[in-house]
């Protein structure tokens, strides 16, 4: 069972690093925000794995949920603006 948990930890760590690089490297804002939300959810899973449920809940609620919704709203407002107002 120890090998399975160690493998899960390595996969989570690798996924976080890969998502962080992809989020910073993508030119598409919508795709970057979606990857940021997934990053926040994976990070919440890592905090839960580290036996810190309070931080995991805060990360899921604030990091992935609230911040992701605010970023999506901001991108929608920017792309909806008329050409002369930019």
Q: What is the chain's pLDDT, residue by residue, as a tens digit (86 residues)?
A: 799 999 999 999 999 999 999 999 999 999 999 999 999 999 999 999 999 999 999 999 998 899 999 999 999 998 887 766 65
- pLDDT on residue 21: 97
Residues 6+ apart with CB under 8 A from 53: 47
Longest dimension (CA), the chain: 61
pLDDT of residue 1: 73
Per-residue HEC secondary structure of 42-58 comes to: HHHHHHHHCCCHHHHHH
> pTM of the predicted model, to two decimals?
0.85
- CA nearest neighbour of 60 among 73, 45, 50: 45
pLDDT at 34: 94
- At residue 80, the pLDDT reads 83
């Amino acid at each position: 069972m120890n090998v399975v948990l160690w493998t899960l930890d390595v996969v989570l760590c690798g996924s976080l690093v890969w998502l962080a690089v992809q989020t910073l490297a993508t030119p598409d804002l919508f795709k970057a925000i979606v990857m940021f939300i997934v990053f926040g959810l994976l990070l919440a899973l890592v905090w839960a794995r580290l036996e810190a449920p309070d931080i995991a809940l805060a990360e899921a609620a604030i990091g992935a949920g609230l911040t992701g919704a605010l970023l999506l709203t901001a991108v929608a407002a920017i792309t909806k603006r008329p050409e002369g107002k930019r």
